[in-house]
Amino acid sequence: MISETLSDCGECEGVGTMEKLVSTPHIKKEIPLEKDKVGEITKEYIEANREILEQQKQETKKENYEPS
């Protein structure tokens, strides 16, 4: 495992051919495509949904419902 060191290759059966290569971890950071302020997208969605809600309110006011 971690402390185990291998020197012989099991695939090619070479003796003393294995070496440990030390590498540094690579962490990929995603860069936002648009540089909007925090919450800007949320505000846009709220405004869009507010408009949809207002349209639905207007449509329901136009409809006639019979009392049950």
Tens of pLDDT, residue by residue over 26-63, are 777 777 666 667 788 889 899 999 999 999 998 888 87
Domain ranges of the chain: 36-62
Round to whole Å and give the CA distance between 7 and 23: 19
The average confidence (pLDDT) of the chain is 78
**What is the reported pTM?**
0.39
Percent of the chain with pLDDT over 70: 79
The Cα-based distances of 40 to 18, 48, 51, 56, 58 in angstroms read 54, 13, 17, 25, 27
